[in-house]
């Protein structure tokens, strides 16, 4: 280690010379140095080094922060969390068992995480009438709603697939109005009193929700005939 004597400014001015100008390297003038010997050590780099001004350091470099240091030590994984302040850790997206979901790239390493419906990830189960189903209400912009199986069954009712009405008007003709919205229906009749099947003269499909029935005689008064309409398609 070489010792220097005399003026610091003059000593270094003779070394740092650029474009005919003296470049002076001197101690910080705002600090009072107490130790007898002050050591200025170069960075531990086997290569060129550059001194930065305060302005350059503030503009171009992120100040040291414990969270940033922890992130660099996490390794593989792009999803991070800071659950306890200065305690950064990795997180990943997973699909719970029987949750009905499948996750791709849950840690974000191979690409953006994505979720999809996975029916194989559902438990086979016999539903109860009190269980709920989720649906989107069109009138509310597809907002998700829930309905019980019991309520759904009552809403659809047997009229969604079949319809029944008693023909006891004392007439030899009747128009049956159902709500099946189809011409592809089967029509059967039986005597309410005897439970025997009845064959009549004509069954005419007026439209998708109306059927006209014609018979050679009127149904028996008091009991009548039961008309069954079943939707096929």
Alpha helices in the chain (DSSP H): 8-13, 54-60, 66-72, 149-156
Task: Give how far the C-alpha of residue 37 lies from the chain's centroid of Cα atoms, to the nearest Å.
Answer: 65
Q: Global pTM? A: 0.43
Parent domain of 134: 126-156
Q: Which among 65, 90, 56, 95 has a CA at the least distance from the CA of 76? A: 90
CATH of the domain at 224: 2.60.40
For residues 161 and 174, the answer to whether their CB atoms sit within 8 Å is no
Is the alpha carbon torsion for 117, 119, 125, 127 positive or negative?
positive
Q: How far apart are the first and last CA of the chain?
A: 101
| Number of domains into which the chain is organized | 2
In 21-88, the DSSP E strands lie at: 21-22, 80-81
Report the DSSP pairing between strands 17-18 and 21-22.
antiparallel
In terms of domains, do 226 and 167 share one? yes
In terms of domains, do 185 and 132 share one? no
Angle formed at CA 43 by CA 39 and CA 45, multiple of 5 degrees = 145
End residue of a domain, out of 111, 140, 156: 156
Residue 41 within a domain? no
For residues 84 and 67, the answer to whether their CB atoms sit within 8 Å is no
Residue 24 within a domain? no
Q: Show pLDDT as tens, one digit a residue, over the chain (233 residues).
A: 445 555 544 444 345 678 888 877 778 888 888 888 888 888 899 999 888 888 888 888 877 777 777 777 776 666 777 777 667 788 889 999 999 999 999 988 888 899 999 999 999 999 888 999 999 999 999 999 999 988 887 777 655 678 899 999 999 999 999 888 889 999 999 999 999 999 999 999 999 999 999 999 999 988 999 999 998 87
Residue 220 within a domain? yes
In terms of domains, do 151 and 162 share one? no
Residues 6+ apart with CB under 8 A from 51: none
């Amino acid at each position: 280690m070489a010792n220097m004597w005399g003026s610091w400014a003059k000593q270094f001015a003779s070394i740092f010379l650029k474009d005919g100008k003296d470049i002076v390297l001197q101690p910080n003038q705002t600090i009072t140095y107490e130790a007898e010997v002050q050591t200025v050590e170069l960075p531990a780099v086997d290569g060129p080094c550059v001194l930065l001004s305060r302005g350059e350091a503030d503009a171009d470099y992120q100040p040291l922060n414990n969270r940033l240091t922890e992130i660099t030590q996490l390794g593989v994984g792009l999803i991070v969390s800071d659950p306890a302040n200065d305690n950064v850790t990795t997180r990943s997206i997973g699909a719970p068992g029987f949750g009905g979901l499948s996750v791709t790239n849950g840690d974000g390493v191979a690409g953006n995480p994505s979720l999809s419906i996975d029916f194989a990830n559902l438990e086979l189960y016999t539903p109860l009438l009190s269980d709920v189903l989720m649906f989107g209400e069109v009138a509310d912009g597809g907002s998700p709603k829930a309905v019980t199986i019991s309520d759904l069954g009552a809403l659809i009712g047997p009229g969604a697939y079949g319809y029944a009405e008693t023909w006891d008007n004392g007439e030899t003709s009747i128009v049956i109005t159902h709500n099946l919205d189809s011409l592809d229906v089967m029509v059967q009749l039986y005597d309410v009193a005897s439970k025997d099947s009845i064959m009549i003269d004509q069954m005419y499909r007026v439209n998708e929700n109306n059927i006209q029935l014609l018979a050679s005689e009127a149904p028996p008064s008091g009991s009548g005939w039961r008309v069954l309409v079943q939707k096929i398609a």
